[in-house]
Structure 1
Amino acid sequence: MVVDASAHSYNLAEDNYAAGRYSKAVVDAFHGAHYGLSPVGHRLSYENFARDWTLPETAKMLFVESDYDFACHHVTPINAFKDGGCSVAKAKEAREQWPNRFQVYAGVDPMFPEQALDSLEQQVDELKPVGIKLYPNSYTADGVVGWHMDDPELAFPIFQRALDLGLKAIAIHKAIPLGPVPMDHYRMDDIDAAAAAFPDLQFEVVHGGFAFIEETAFQLARFPNVWVNLETTSNLAVAKPGAFQRVIAGLITHAGEGALDRLMWASGASVLHPEPPLKWFWEHFHFSEEMREREGLPEITEEVKRKILGLNYLRMHGLDPKTVAKNIEGDEFAIARAKGKAAPFETSLSKGLAK
């Protein structure tokens, strides 16, 4: 059972820009990650990348071009874009079109607290989300402003409302700054107070381990409601396998073997093609005997890989793997996938444009 904990169908087209140079800077950052972390055969030119990606493209990328079974589609409240980058409408399409393939997270911007609370309630009614996606800064006409997870006036009311509405997870983008913005809001330490104040919420560190490995590990060790979402970090497995190995080893070294129960696989599709890191992780990832002895690391068994690739996510959200598997039997993606895995981007509007 392979689950993508972070899937998106971004609209990166210029007519969706809302913050001038900052909008382009975000798109540049996305394309830089796409090109730099993708292997040959899975790279798109800027022109073919910076466009409006449809939900069917993302779905086919995951379930026909790759070996994924289920995904969480995020609403992204990046106000550098008119629709936030990945709109509520696309999340609604995912829930209505393929409810057995997708869960969704709502998305709000805490820098506008009243609007955020109203929007959260509307999205809960419209989308039936299971969590919220947050970003640590906003883009304004005057520049960039940010907030912290331990802010009792901006952040805590949103967490409390999420809890009251029955949501389980708070996913916060960390570690990777979006464009020329201050690094301060992408650091880890502000999660501590939030996790302590809301023990019934699960705090999901998106891009966990890409930076601040030790800080992330100590949070895993101290707070049982902190999880790591490996979006983008997972692509290090292909582009820089030694770096990926050091990330996972660092998390375990400081947090203990139990950290492996709170790591969740994610591809970041449509920014990155989901297949290469999945294939590499399943077929190649392990710690050498020498490294295990030197660092005191456990063996990475198939059971451990299955947890990271999907079972941990399903457990966090109270989903039964057998039920999820049964629900997707014989659907359009299962039928298409049974004919053989499609080539990268073959089923998208960029057919034949990968290099």
Structure 2
Amino acid sequence: MLDGKFVIDGVAHAYNVDPSNYAVQPTAQAITQMVYAVAGGNVPPEYAVPPEKWIRDWSTDEVTNLLFRESATDFAIFHPTPIGAYHDGMTSVEKAADTIRRWPSRFLTYATVDPLRGKAALEEFDRQVELLAPIGLKLYPSSWTKGYHEGWRMGDPKVAFPFFERARQHGIRTVAVHKAIPFGDVPMQSYKVDDLDAAAAAFPDLNFEIVHGGVAFVEETAWLLGRFPNVWVNLEGLSFILGANPRTFASLLLGLCSVGGPLALDRMVWATGAMAAHPRPLLDAFARFQFPDDLLANDGGLFSSVPQISEETKENILGRNYARMAGLDIEKLAAGMARDEFSGADISVPAYSTTKVAVV
């Protein structure tokens, strides 16, 4: 817990970014370098990882240790990825299965597919439902299935809607989509958020979780939050900005509230993307975070202003909002982890000391 607040990390990964896993070049190398720079380029010295120790195949043990032995995280959502520029998708479905099998008291997971694979992807979705019992579906707006980049849109009735329908059939309530941060030298169009309104309107019973929401397209995302009660923002990406520049983070957060006002904060969920970034300094930064007074005084909210962030709002963002979105019971989660192997861990250990980064 962080200052008595239950922490659910909405995105955890175990990347395999070793060059031997690159299926499409130079795309995979460019993606790897971009993620390394975005997640690890502006961190305190004690959290800096040299590229030769980051650009490799990360194990599920390492990610689990970062979260529960080296930070105040209590629970996490493991996201496999279907990024075809890598042989195994960058974070394999097999790693997701391993994670929930070994640490069921600490993880749930999402399924993930490439919609441009059509019927084969729907069949793969069904397979993952049996394998993972996922609580969400994670999508990426880029495909490299044919060996080159193709983008697709969340509002496409032929490409995207069949997967939302299948999610409904499987009882899955949340569809998460990577937005705002383009993967390398690809067109930006499919990473915009102007396709979410059609999806949210057509499937009002599903939650649409914008991963990296607010890193770009702040005004457009604010209008989505203001218009659609089933649109949520996952703060992976914004949490990197918080760690590097809290004032910029504050400005972006206020921008996301510019239409819906402070109620928009009730649909924001915490995420660090661990292992892309170390979760501890980001959590520590959020524990200290306050809106600068001068930004509040000049809050450009279109319809209402945002008050200073409260400890209750922080508690909601850190865990209670995600639990409400996903239908989880925090008290039951806490009871399930009370006596597991991570209970009582000394999380003040040196950064990365429980991972291969520490190996000389």
TM-score range for the pair, normalised by the shorter chain length: over 0.9
**Hey, what does 1:275 align to over in structure 2?**
280
After superposition, residues 231-242 of structure 1 pair within 5 angstroms as 231-242=236-247
The corresponding residue for 1:139 is: 144
Candidates 338, 345, 351, aligned match of 2:352: 345
| 2:62 matches 1:53 | no
1:167 aligns with 2:172: yes
Per-residue deviation, residues 154-184 of structure 1 (Å, max 9, x unmatched) = 1000110011111111110000001100001
Residue equivalent to 1:215: 220
TM-score (normalised: structure 2):
0.95
1:140 CA drift (Å)? 5.1
* 1:246 lines up with 2:251 in the alignment: yes
Does the aligned pair in 1 maintain the 2:24–2:147 contact within 8 Å?
Answer: no
Separation (CA, whole Å) in 2 of partners of 1:108 and 1:55: 20
Counterpart in 2 of 1:9?
14
Contact 1:74 1:106 in 2 (8 A): yes
On the 8 A contact 1:19/1:140 being kept in 2, the answer is no
- Shift of residue 298 of structure 1? 1.3
TM-superposed CA distance for 1:289, in Å, is: 3.8
Instruction: Measure, in 1, the Cα distance between the counterparts of 2:150 and 2:26.
Output: 15
The reply on whether 1:66 has 2:75 as its aligned counterpart is: no
Deviations 1:89-135 (A, max 9, x none): 11111111111100100100011111110000000000000001111
Matched residue, 1:332: 341
Amino acid at match of 1:186: Y
1:100 aligns with 2:109: no
Q: How far apart, in 2, do the equivalents of 1:56 and 1:49 lie?
A: 15
The reply on whether 1:91 has 2:96 as its aligned counterpart is yes
SS of the residue 1:253 aligns to: coil
- Of residues 106-115 and 339-348 in structure 1, the stretch that sits farther from structure 2 once superposed is 339-348
**Distance in structure 2 (CA, Å) of the matches to 1:179 and 1:78:** 12
Whether 1:30 aligns to 2:35 is yes
The 2-side partners of 1:143 and 1:103 are apart by 32
Q: Where does the alignment leave 5 or more consecutive residues of structure 1 unmatched?
A: none
Q: 1:21 to 1:340 in 2, by over 3 A?
A: closer
Q: What is the count of residue pairs matched by the alignment?
A: 350
> Could you list the per-position Cα deviations for residues 221-264 of structure 1 after superposition, in whole angstroms to 9, with x for gaps in the alignment?
00000000000211111211111001111111222111011000
Give the conservation status (yes or no) of the 8 Å contact 2:74–2:106.
yes
SS in 2 for 1:300: coil
Alignment match of 1:286 (pick from 290, 304, 317)? 290
Deviation at residue 16 of structure 1 after TM alignment: 1.1
Does structure 1 retain, via aligned residues, the 8 Å contact 2:212–2:238?
A: yes
* Alpha-carbon offset, residue 34 of structure 1: 2.7
Provide the alpha-carbon RMSD of the alignment: 1.3
8 Å CA contact 2:251–2:295 kept in 1: the answer is no
The amino acid of 2:242's aligned partner reads: A
Matched, 1:205 2:210: yes
% identical aligned pairs? 45
**C-alpha displacement at 1:350, in angstroms?**
0.7
Q: 1:142 to 1:102 in 2, by over 3 A?
A: closer
Write the distance in 2 (CA, Å) between the matches of 1:65 and 1:340. Answer: 4
* Structure 2 Cα separation of the partners of residues 194 and 253 of structure 1: 22
Tell me how far 1:142 sits from its aligned partner.
5.5
Deviation of residue 14 (structure 1)? 1.2
Q: Structure 2: how far apart are the matches of 1:24 and 1:87?
A: 18
Q: 1:47 to 1:290 in 2, by over 3 A?
A: closer
| 1:141 Cα offset (Å) | 5.6
